[in-house]
Structure 1
Amino acid sequence: MQRFFKIIAIAVLVAQVASPASRLKELVTIEGVRDNQLLGYGLVVGLAGTGDRQQTVFSVQTLTNLLERMGVSVAASAITVKNTAAVLVTAVLPPYAQPGAKMDITVAAMGDARDLRGGLLILTSLRAANGEVYALAQGPVLTGGFTAGRAGATQVINHPTVGRVPSGAIIERGAPSIAIRSTVNLQLKDDDFETAARVAAVINKHFAAETPLTAHAVNSSLISVNVPASFRDRTTEFVGEIEALTIDVDREAKIVVNERTGTIILGKDVHIAPVAILHGNLSVEIQTSIAVSQPSPGTVGETEVVPQTNVAIKEDKVKNVTLKEGATVEELVRSLTAIGSTARDIIAILQSLKAAGALNAELEVI
């Protein structure tokens, strides 16, 4: 058995550093211009005996209703099939999508079907949260996996109960997107007061010839932009011109650690104050061996098992690292690695610093 005791002492101050210039297209979204989730319930047929079994009642009921609409009357109790599977169909309706356009759909088994490979999705209506039908889906299902064998000898590759139908849905109704008129509201993907102010300033500088001021920051997430008179009939060009503008994004210092994998993600250019690290390693090793005590021939005695315990204590030499003023977190990590610190050691250091209030950066543990 081995026991290790580690003593770590450190003081760090992390400063904020602005990120490189980014396009507004990557930083903001247009209020009202958004995707819409669609959902439908359907039936996949043509499976090679890998569909829902008899205990999945709703797939049989769905098949009965389908046959009823096609003029075939049959009782649900009289149907025994293994080539059909009840599925949920999902899709994402993009903004400004027009009737007649096509989009991909995802099909997932909701019963006990084993494999959707080779199946055909029967005409399925896709509805939005408001209950309105926006698309119709139908087509062959493509899966990235398969199932081979039967009974106890079965091999499953990837996930055969979920598949896709490329261009499998036809849009029947236009997406419920807003029309851009006199005002455009930009929403920051990551709210920040300084970034919002910079976005408004960059837009106003670019459209300096327009009066009054084109943009102003409403809060840390929203920038309201007035469409200039010269762009009143060309709002699409106006939005495209805004998205092409670049700004220096202000981000707070952030360190992300994953304790399960020992992964640390941190800013390379985040500076730290002068720092000293004391890293001592005390190792205690305890080993137990078994010896047999045997009496000599012709003497009175009993054979006994005698445990023998050896205790060895080893203390490594204390290692010290000193960083000069202006050093970065990258240099800190390199120095810690040089004295034998592992990723988990560094994670423990960062967590202790945050608890002590010595780390001026957001620490996120995932």
Structure 2
Amino acid sequence: MTQTSLSRRALAALALAAALAAAAPAAFAAEDSAAGAVRLKDLGRFLGRRDNMLVGYGIVTGLAGSGDAPRNQATRQAMQNLLSQFDLTVPLEQIQSRNVAMVMITATLPATSNIGDKIDVNVTSTGDARSIAGGTLIMSALRGPDKRVYALAQGPITVGGYRFDGNGNLRQKNHPTVGVVSEGATVEVPVRAQIAARDGKLDYVLKNSDAVTSERVAARINQAFGAGAAVSLDPETVSIRAPQDPGRLNAYVASIEALAVVPDVASRVIINERTGTLAAGGDTRISPVTISHGDLRVSIDTEYTASQPNFIGIADDSVRSLIVGNSRLDVDEAGQHVAQTYKQTTVSELVASLAKARVSTRDVISILQAIKAAGALHADLIVQ
């Protein structure tokens, strides 16, 4: 065999391998696009990747007389502390401005943040201010649970409401004591989420704990990255083998999050009797059952008449008109709605058939409660 033929065969083999490698992601993508499939990125998260809560307090200035009352000792003390930082010594009793309000500041620090990143902050009044609209938040420190300062917040406040009052008249929309400073905080301490454990494993945590879904996630990862790449530890956690090269960790996590599985969802029927709302999964099953539902309405109408005495001309204080009430009891029994379900019937099919029969939503709720009591509804019935 000549060297030329070997070279051709080697090139053909390489071309075939490249074609298979290119076809593998396409096959996975076709499978991931199956009906009902959900990305792992939407089903859960990697343990260690979480947001961080920040909180602080500060002063809002520039209010048009709608700030805290002068009797608010906390606001006056905060103003005295603020002015002392600028070498201004003002006695506490001389701080009487109502253009200032003390506020609490909250923010969410992402799992991965760098110095200089901007985040939004929420500002809420803690005193008796009527409105913080038009105010400006003075630079305030935002701390984490470890008391460390992670961000500094400052800027004008945007309030989605208003409050105007005068001469006893009041006009208010929404909550004017709550506002937002868009990108008002600057990150001062970098944050890095550590998702790789010391044993070289990644823990993937489901949002909704389910043993079947956990096994499906592990099987899907093993299908994409080889046997033994993942194992289901419990209904909530899937342990995944981390790459040996730390530089490939982000690409590896991105590839896992792009995979999709069909989650197994417990059958539930949610009922809100106050609003007449009903929500159920489309595949919630109902065993064969016969339903007979009717309305019985009872109404009582009372008509009052006055009976006058015949001797009105006689001056007697004991003579009074007699009020007589005549009551009428009406019983209205509407025609009954009868429906019979068959094999493989679902809640959606039953609701659709009852809707065609013009059965009201509240009657449908009563019917489903009766079916559940009869043992024919195979789902959790949750009444809110």
Matched residue of 2:129: which SS?
A: coil
TM-score by length of 2: 0.83
1:283 to partner: Cα distance: 2.7
| Structure that is richer in helix per residue | 2
For the pair shown, which has the larger CA radius of gyration, 1 or 2?
Answer: 2
The match for 1:263 is 277
Q: Which amino acid aligns with 2:77?
A: Q
Q: Distance in 1 between matches of 2:260 and 2:299?
A: 60
Unaligned regions of 5+ residues in structure 2, if any? 1-33, 313-318
Alignment of 1:33-112 (within 5 A): 33-112=49-128
Matched residue of 1:191: which SS?
A: coil
Q: Which amino acid aligns with 2:125?
A: A
Q: Which amino acid aligns with 2:210?
A: D
Partners of 1:280 and 1:316 within 8 A in 2: yes
The match for 1:194 is 212
What is the RMSD computed on CA atoms of the aligned residues? 2.4
Q: Which amino acid aligns with 1:360?
A: H
The match for 1:221 is 236
The match for 2:3 is none
1:311 partnered with 2:325: no
Distance of aligned partners of 1:261 and 1:19 in 2 relative to their CA distance in 1, 3 Å threshold: farther
1:114 to partner: Cα distance: 1.1
1:119 partnered with 2:135: yes
Match for 2:379 among 356, 361, 365?
A: 361
Matched residue of 2:106: which SS?
A: strand
Distance of aligned partners of 1:232 and 1:70 in 2 relative to their CA distance in 1, 3 Å threshold: closer
Partners of 2:291 and 2:367 within 8 A in 1: no
Q: Distance in 2 between matches of 1:19 and 1:361?
A: 22
Unaligned regions of 5+ residues in structure 1, if any? 1-17
1:258 to partner: Cα distance: 1.2
Matched residue of 2:79: which SS?
A: helix
Q: Distance in 1 between matches of 2:236 and 2:320?
A: 85
Q: How many residues align?
A: 344
Distance of aligned partners of 1:309 and 1:183 in 2 relative to their CA distance in 1, 3 Å threshold: same
Moved more, 33-42 or 51-60: 51-60
Matched residue of 1:143: which SS?
A: coil
TM-score by length of 1: 0.87
Alignment of 1:1-366 (within 5 A): 20-175=36-191, 177-178=193-194, 180=196, 182-208=200-226, 213-229=228-244, 232-293=246-307, 304-366=322-384
Partners of 1:278 and 1:321 within 8 A in 2: yes
1:297 to partner: Cα distance: 8.8
Q: Distance in 1 between matches of 2:324 and 2:94?
A: 77
Partners of 1:108 and 1:162 within 8 A in 2: yes
Partners of 2:286 and 2:378 within 8 A in 1: no
Q: Which amino acid aligns with 1:199?
A: V
Partners of 2:288 and 2:376 within 8 A in 1: no
Using the aligned pairs only, state the percent identity.
39
Distance of aligned partners of 1:317 and 1:347 in 2 relative to their CA distance in 1, 3 Å threshold: closer
Partners of 1:272 and 1:327 within 8 A in 2: yes
Matched residue of 1:58: which SS?
A: helix
Distance of aligned partners of 1:304 and 1:64 in 2 relative to their CA distance in 1, 3 Å threshold: closer
Partners of 1:19 and 1:249 within 8 A in 2: no
1:326 to partner: Cα distance: 2.1
Q: Distance in 1 between matches of 2:170 and 2:320?
A: 59
Matched residue of 2:215: which SS?
A: helix
